Structure 1
Amino acid sequence: MTKRIRRLTAALLAAALLAGCGGSDSGSNTASYDAVAEESLALASGGTESALLPDTATGESAQKIIYRADLYMESTDFDAAQDTLLDAVDAAGAWLEYSYQSGSAKEQDRRVEYTVRVPVENYSAFLEQAGQAGSVLNLSENAEDVTSEYIDVDARITSLEAQRDRLNELAAQAETTADLLEIENQLSNVQYQLESYTQQMRALEGKITYSTVDISLEEVAVLTPTGVTFGARLADAFGGGWRMFVDFVQGLVLTLVYLWPLLVIAAVVVGVVLVQRRKHPRPPKPPKPGKKAPAPPAQYGLPDAPAANAPPQSGKPDAPKNPDAPQDAPAAPAETPEPPKPKY
């Protein structure tokens, strides 16, 4: 009995490992996985337990498609357009997953963004009714086929559930503590994988059952004409840039208002530092070695220093001259020699 339990546990472990490899294979990969799992169980139990895993052949199955749309509109009557959108949500049995509104009625620049989850059977009707709320500028739709992924995840869940049930039966038949611990270990591993695939299946079913529609509604003074020209696009871009600039300036002013206590403290600190520097100026730096110090500037009102080659002067001042004393006669001019007389 113990050997049989161990063989079955090993086979279930091999099947669990195969179930955990990959999450997006489908078709032949799923069939191959089931065949390997059944073969492992058959070898372990001598062919008597081959019916543990159900047949998960893909066969014929309805397509599983995830629908998603992006709708961008504008309106001159923002309140009425918003009411129309909300009425469309209620009529389709949908619900708002996300909502955001900005702007003001005074500036006529309001904007609202919705993420709506719509039942797939009302998807087309909702888009048609929501498009009547304003002037549609852009509508894009996307359909993603996830049939293969859905079938693969469903097959793995079915296989893991069968392994879990069989392990519970083996745990009830265990005769020794070692066998029971081994079975519980494998059961914990299978349960972990089963919960992971179950969450993945719930996410897929939610996206398949409820389509996602992102809506943007903008308030404008004049509707954008169909077939927008380059000039209109340029004017719209200029207006959008100006609004962004105004928003930036307003945000900057608000930031300064929030930070005014810190700015006052910083101004006081800077003022104290400047006053201290004026009271205690830094001493001049000493001249670098090898360079002569610059000569001191000349001082006004003092006599110039004597030249280097001038004779030394006595310390006594010159005697003043007497105006009554006879003056020295001027020197006589030098006599010019007479030319020699000719001889006859």
Structure 2
Amino acid sequence: MKRKGNLGIAIGTSLLAATLLAGCGSSGSRATTDNAFTTSKMTYEAPAGAAIYEEAADEAYMDDQSYNTSGSQAETVNESAAKTNRKLITTININAETEDFDKARNLVENKITELGGYIENSSVYNEDRSANYTIRIPADNADKLIETLEGNNNVTSKSVSVEDVTLQYADTESRKKALKTEEERLLKIMESAETVEDLIAVESRLAEVRYELESIESQLRTYDNKIDYTTVYLYLEEVEKFTPVEKESAGHRMADGFVESIISIRDGLVEFCIWFVIHIPQILLFAIFVAAVVIIVRVLDKKSKKKKVAKNTQQNVTSAEGENGK
């Protein structure tokens, strides 16, 4: 009975220290074993078998002091990491124009593959001759892709944003190390647990720790992907004339305006011809209708004239006969 009671106290102490290791408790003081496990309030003599739990608890408590991110040591580690190995997430937005859409598309897509990147998302609009790309390119090769875009297209706008996540990354790694240490302590305790209640309590906490570890490792993988691969948002469109990126002179603007007017007239004539060809059936039907109306009107007009002539002739004959009779 004494042995089991002391064993419960030892396990409780070890689990409390593990909880402190995860940052859930105060780093400045230790709670009593009644907060972790409910045990009878009796006086026990510590058996030799409890030494492993007390030692594990002491080690966990010391590790907690090392990994506590609110301590000065953690701040020193983070500051050092920020100076030596900065974690930067880079995002680039580019709008570009081309005179040959298909050629520009093939060039961009081939260059992305050549540089070890990939297209995360793309939307191509054949009617408008334009496309939107979300590109993931190795950070070291991002400049090469930008050079290719600028050298073969007219880049009308470009913006670059950089997010420094060095401290967040270091804190997440420290949290992972702390949970790993807690996992090792819990596995040692599980091997020496002698009661079902103790085993269930340890397994429950171990499941929580492993769940947190998976979440943190997933977060670190996301950080690594965003850091190692620059994200480039590219909008590419085909145009007949490049948009000037610098202010033009008055003479150049007048010349461009004149050319644009000629082009507008040409485009208007082309559109009219297209409209005319498309609507030829309707135009023919309308022409036939108009022709039929004209023919009918002419026939009726001729008949009306003949009647008038016949009437006038009859009147003239009658008048002549009347004069002869007199």
**Bin of the TM-score, shorter chain as denominator length:** 0.5 to 0.7
Q: Partner of 1:87 in structure 2?
A: 110
3-state SS of paired residue (2:22) = helix
Structure 1 residue 64 and structure 2 residue 87: aligned?
A: yes
Of residues 171, 180, 199, the one that matches 1:152 is 171
1:70–1:140 contact (8 Å) kept in structure 2: yes
Aligned residues: 212
Deviations 1:307-340 (A, max 9, x none): xxxxxxxxxxxxxxxxxxxxxxxxxxxxxxxxxx
Q: Which amino acid letter does the alignment assign opposite residue 107 of structure 2?
A: T
Structure 1 residue 181 and structure 2 residue 200: aligned?
A: yes
Deviations 1:275-308 (A, max 9, x none): xxxxxxxxxxxxxxxxxxxxxxxxxxxxxxxxxx
1:53–1:162 contact (8 Å) kept in structure 2: no
Mapped to 1, the partners of 2:65 and 2:142 lie a distance apart of 36
Q: Which amino acid letter does the alignment assign opposite residue 158 of structure 1?
A: K
Structure 1 residue 212 and structure 2 residue 218: aligned?
A: no
Q: Partner of 1:14 in structure 2?
A: 20
Deviations 1:145-191 (A, max 9, x none): 00010001010011001101110110111010011011111111211
Displacement of 1:53 in angstroms is: 5.2
Runs of 4+ deviating beyond 3 Å: 43-48, 50-57
Structure 1 residue 99 and structure 2 residue 122: aligned?
A: yes
Deviations 1:100-127 (A, max 9, x none): 10133xxxx3001111101111121221
Mapped to 2, the partners of 1:17 and 1:190 lie a distance apart of 12
Structure 1 residue 116 and structure 2 residue 130: aligned?
A: no
Q: Which amino acid letter does the alignment assign opposite residue 146 of structure 2?
A: L
Displacement of 1:13 in angstroms is: 2.3
Mapped to 2, the partners of 1:72 and 1:152 lie a distance apart of 37
Mapped to 1, the partners of 2:155 and 2:209 lie a distance apart of 51
Mapped to 1, the partners of 2:175 and 2:244 lie a distance apart of 53
1:2–1:174 contact (8 Å) kept in structure 2: no
2:89–2:163 contact (8 Å) kept in structure 1: yes
Mapped to 1, the partners of 2:180 and 2:19 lie a distance apart of 13
Mapped to 2, the partners of 1:132 and 1:6 lie a distance apart of 68
Mapped to 1, the partners of 2:88 and 2:95 lie a distance apart of 23
Mapped to 1, the partners of 2:30 and 2:164 lie a distance apart of 33
3-state SS of paired residue (1:138) = strand
Mark the CA change 1:177 to 1:101 in structure 2 (over 3 Å): closer, same or farther.
same
1:97–1:117 contact (8 Å) kept in structure 2: yes
Displacement of 1:78 in angstroms is: 1.0
Mapped to 2, the partners of 1:17 and 1:188 lie a distance apart of 17
Mapped to 1, the partners of 2:124 and 2:247 lie a distance apart of 26
TM-score w.r.t. the length of structure 2 is 0.59
Mapped to 2, the partners of 1:17 and 1:53 lie a distance apart of 8
Larger Rg: 1
User: Where does 1:237-316 land on structure 2 (aligned, <5 Å)?
Assistant: none
Q: Which amino acid letter does the alignment assign opposite residue 4 of structure 1?
A: A
Mapped to 2, the partners of 1:53 and 1:161 lie a distance apart of 12
3-state SS of paired residue (2:157) = strand
Same amino acid, percent of matched pairs: 28
Mapped to 1, the partners of 2:180 and 2:30 lie a distance apart of 17
Mapped to 2, the partners of 1:171 and 1:89 lie a distance apart of 51
Mapped to 2, the partners of 1:54 and 1:158 lie a distance apart of 13
User: Where does 1:187-198 land on structure 2 (aligned, <5 Å)?
Assistant: 187-198=206-217
Q: Partner of 1:130 in structure 2?
A: 149
User: Where does 1:21-32 land on structure 2 (aligned, <5 Å)?
Assistant: none
3-state SS of paired residue (2:24) = helix
1:52–1:166 contact (8 Å) kept in structure 2: no
| Backbone CA RMSD of aligned residues | 2.9
Displacement of 1:54 in angstroms is: 8.8
Displacement of 1:45 in angstroms is: 3.7
Displacement of 1:14 in angstroms is: 3.4
From the two aligned structures, give the one with the greater helix fraction: 2
3-state SS of paired residue (1:187) = helix
